[in-house]
A and B are shown apart, each in its own frame.
Chain A
Amino acid sequence: MALISTRDFSFAFPGAEPILHNVNLSIDEGGFAVLLGPNGSGKTTLLQQLHPVLAAAGERSGDILWRGESVSRETSSEVARNIGFVMQRPESQVVTDKVWHELAFGLENQGMSSDRIRQKVAEIATYFGIEGWFDKDVSELSGGQRQILNLASVMVLDPTLLILDEPTAQLDPISADNFILMLHRLNYELGVTILAAEHELQKILPNATQVLLLSEGELALSAPPQQAIPEIMERYPELAPALPVSAQIYAAAAHNGVSGSSDVPGENATLSPLSPSAQSAVPLTVGEGKRWLNSVLPAAEPAGGMAPSPVVSGANSGRDMDGDIAAATDITGKEPAAIRAQEVWFRYDKGSPDLLQGLNLTVRKGEIFALVGANGSGKSTFVSVLSGVQRPYRGRIELAGTPLKKFAPGALYRNFLGVLPQDPQTLFVQKTVVGDLEDVFPKRGVQRDEMSSAILSGAESLGLMEVLERHPYDLSGGEQQLTALLKVLLLKPQILLLDEPTKGMDEAAKSRVIAVLKALQKRGVTVLFVTHDVEFAAQCADRAGMFFHGDVVSEDRVGPFFSRNNFYTTSASRIARDHFPMAITKDEVIQCVRKQMTL
């Protein structure tokens, strides 16, 4: 019997169009369900409606069933006690100021005795590895720790079902991985039923037992991953980029096979016709992808092994790629430096450690440069030093050939240096998105036509047309990020510094950002971004560098950079590096695989 299910469930906010239509979902006890769907498809609303206490008021029809019985007014609080809920923003769920108090909070609400609380808190803190920071203030924790704390303080109440609304959207990839591993552990070891909305499926899908797809308020799909993936590829190509890279490469290769043969298109059985093991499952993890690729491609030449080499085994594709990169270097080599940092040293206080230690970096005009690196390594500090908010105590920073110190305080940001800070909400001051965007323009001296055309075409190219009238805080994390980016772009910067620009974005949004950044690049705008998102960096940037120990190490063109890295590299490169060492993005790998197949 299903643990929780809905029967023809529909919902509309008061006085608004229905947001959910006849949803029929069913989640088995002990299952791990992943809910996906584009931004604004009603995921959050659905998840909240499943929780009797969090359900927003509105017009509801149909039933929600808990263990086969309809949830009524009498049973709702009992059901609520069995459901744990974790939300998106780590910092907005913490109630108290101390870690231990936060863990005890839910138990206090139950009126539990101190001794019993002590036992349960001890147990949960040990399981989640919280002992090390048990006595700390919540404000001292990192975002990842805070989200683990939120999970632990929900789990201490022993829920049967755990609902999570994009829990990793605000986390860096390493914390996100830890979080998802923890979810897997809860499901695997404790048998907790999990329902999680996610837009980044790379890590979560291999653990899932069920994929739910919500599209325009309707449940379009509910199936195990192996069945769901081919169907998503076929029916919802716009969601395909969110799937694990190995599955995408697999599907693309399969599709290639289909178009090669004269089979009936669209039939599922034809999806994996190209390998001897035709019935093999869709590869979900990097390891599975690697195994699959090895089984379909001729064995890689030993020279291609781990060491990156200019000799590419996939002859055609490799040459193409080298050619591209060479062309890119030609452009950037001649241009003057837009950003130049020479032996920059910085620390916050006299006593604190140096966060920048003799940093050297040159970014040429019209270049897109990606800076990757671990959390807390000082990447964001570097952005604030480059943008003139913090002043280095030694060293020299030049923007477009002029020392940073020479800029008048007001002139720097006017049509010259655009900075996208890490938290997009800090840019919003108005009641609507459009009001906030207009806020950038001076009150007088700007033609309204010019202003609105810039806003509208910007909103169109970033996919924000639907949300222009909404309150900025009512947008999803990814939409807020896009709005913030647009707001910064409206200042017409010549140099753009972006701090984690893709946090919380789905793949569609990321590709729009890439398109805009590439278009800006054509007009000679220089972009430097700091990111954890290696996939985005590989797709978007010309050159990349690794931030480590206060300096930029191993800066290079993205191709060699990521193919040389073994740990800090894209999934596509990990899967295919034995065969195509220079292919780093999934599109490049797909291209290579296709070429190899047609040979």
Chain B
Amino acid sequence: MRSQADDFVESLYGKESEPASAPTAHVDTEKKTLPDPSAPLVWCAPVAKHRGKWQAGVEIALIVALFPIIIFGEMMLGARTTLALSVAVVACAVVLFMFLFDTRHPSPRELVVIATLVALAVAGRSMFFMLPQFKPMAALIIIAGVSLGQETGFIVGSLSALVSNMFFGQGPWTPWQMLAFGLIGFVAGALHQAHLVSAKRIPLSIFGFLSIFLIYGLIMNSASLLMYSSEITPAALAMFYISGAPMDLVHALSTVLFLFVLARPFLEKMERLKVKYGLV
């Protein structure tokens, strides 16, 4: 007596006596059951969220006001006061975003997706632990900003920085990193919504590269300048920038690499989730 199992084993290993020959019985069913698995890809713009107009206004005003305040403080007051002032501004920025996020009452699905993205960003960093600055964090944050909007981007960014420092060590850099990564997510979301950065791998990679130098680098180098230099001048900032450039370059290139490779599949999957589970 022959069973289906015997047939299967035979189709794998060939007949016992004679060499394997392709059975013809299944040829017609093949076309029916083996379709091309690649489905067309649909990009969606983030769905507009239900939030007050004033919230968005406050966010933009905050971003715009941030740097002038620090620069003003630097000109008018001494270096330590500038540091105190900028720490206060950074803390306010992060706190404000958290507050706005909290009052929005995000859905459980959105919360878990944010937590998942944060965890992936941190787990990703720990996978490449031995390579300094080679981390997929910024790439994931940009993907989060693009697919879930600017606010979520900020939250994912700043919480990723906080959580990652909880595993790799907190330091005076924590609030600055929270702001820097948060802004990367925010700007990615905002530019995508303004149709300035499309969700394709090339524009995203370019944005990723620039964001490390212009957002992350600027904030973190300013932070070191404020903390460890008595003289806050453009020349000193340039000096810090140049000394940090090799590390920033590795960081930027790794971000580009991760975005180039991961942006498409990840964004595609985020879209599938958004459609399937009505996310955002």
Contact = CB atoms under 8 A, between A and B. Distances in A.
Do A and B have CB atoms closer than 8 angstroms in the complex? yes
Interface of A: 430-432, 434-435, 438, 447-450, 452-458, 460-462, 465, 468-469, 489-490, 492, 512, 515-516, 518-520, 522-523
B34 A434 contact: yes
B18 interface: no
B9 A520 contact: yes
Contacts of B230: none
Given A432-B37, A519-B3, A453 B23 contact: yes
B11 to A, nearest CB: 4
B35 A461 contact: no
Contacts of A489: 12
Interface of B: 3-9, 11-13, 16, 20, 22-23, 26-27, 29-30, 33-35, 37, 39
A447 B22 contact: yes
Given A453-B23, A489-B12, A435 B7 contact: no
A523 B15 CA distance: 10
Closest 7 CB pairs of A and B: A435-B37, A461-B4, A515-B5, A519-B5, A461-B8, A519-B9, A516-B5
B26 A457 contact: yes
10 contacts: A430-B37, A438-B37, A453-B23, A453-B27, A456-B30, A462-B8, A515-B3, A515-B4, A516-B9, A523-B13
Nearest to B21: A450
Given A432-B37, A460-B7, 19 more contacts: A434-B34, A438-B34, A447-B22, A449-B27, A450-B22, A452-B30, A452-B34, A453-B27, A457-B8, A457-B23, A458-B8, A469-B35, A492-B12, A516-B8, A516-B9, A519-B3, A522-B9, A523-B13, A523-B16
Nearest to A109: B108
A434 B37 CA distance: 8
Contacts of B37: 430-432, 434-435, 438
Contacts of A434: 33-35, 37
Chain B CB within 10 Å — which of A461, A469, A519 has the most? A519
Given A469-B35, A522-B9, A523-B16, A461 B30 contact: no
Contacts of A454: 8, 11-12
Given A434-B37, A435-B37, A454-B11, A449 B30 contact: yes
Interface of chain B, main secondary structure: helix
A456 B7 contact: no
A468 B6 contact: no
A519 B1 CA distance: 12
B123 to A, nearest CB: 12
A452 B12 contact: no
Contacts of A516: 5, 8-9
A522 B30 contact: no
Contacts of B6: 519, 522
A519 to B, nearest CB: 4
A457 B13 contact: no
A150 to B, nearest CB: 16
A458 B7 CA distance: 8
A448 B34 CA distance: 10
Contact of A453 (B4, B5, B11, B39): B11
Contacts of B30: 448-449, 452-453, 456
Nearest to B31: A452
A457 B34 contact: no
B22 A458 contact: no
A514 to B, nearest CB: 9
A492 B13 contact: yes
Given A453-B26, A454-B11, A518 B5 contact: yes
Contacts of B4: 457, 460-461, 515
A447 B14 CA distance: 14
A268 B30 CA distance: 46
B5 A461 contact: yes
Contacts of B5: 461, 512, 515-516, 518-519
Nearest to A455: B34
B29 A457 contact: no
Chain A CB within 10 Å — which of B8, B20, B30, B35 has the most? B8
Contacts of A522: 6, 9
Nearest to B268: A431
Given A435-B37, A456-B26, A490 B12 contact: yes
A349 to B, nearest CB: 18
Contacts of B16: 523
Nearest to B29: A456
Nearest to A95: B112
A519 B8 contact: yes
Nearest to A53: B108
Contacts of A430: 37
A522 B13 CA distance: 11
A449 B27 CA distance: 7
A93 B23 CA distance: 46
Given A434-B33, A452-B34, A460 B22 contact: no
A3 to B, nearest CB: 27
Contacts of A460: 4, 7-8
A527 to B, nearest CB: 12
A449 B22 contact: yes
Contacts of A432: 37
A18 B30 CA distance: 28
A462 B29 CA distance: 17
B9 A456 contact: no
A516 B4 CA distance: 8
Contacts of B9: 516, 519-520, 522-523
Nearest to B20: A450
A562 B20 CA distance: 40
A430 B39 CA distance: 12
A314 B20 CA distance: 46
A383 B37 CA distance: 33
A87 to B, nearest CB: 14
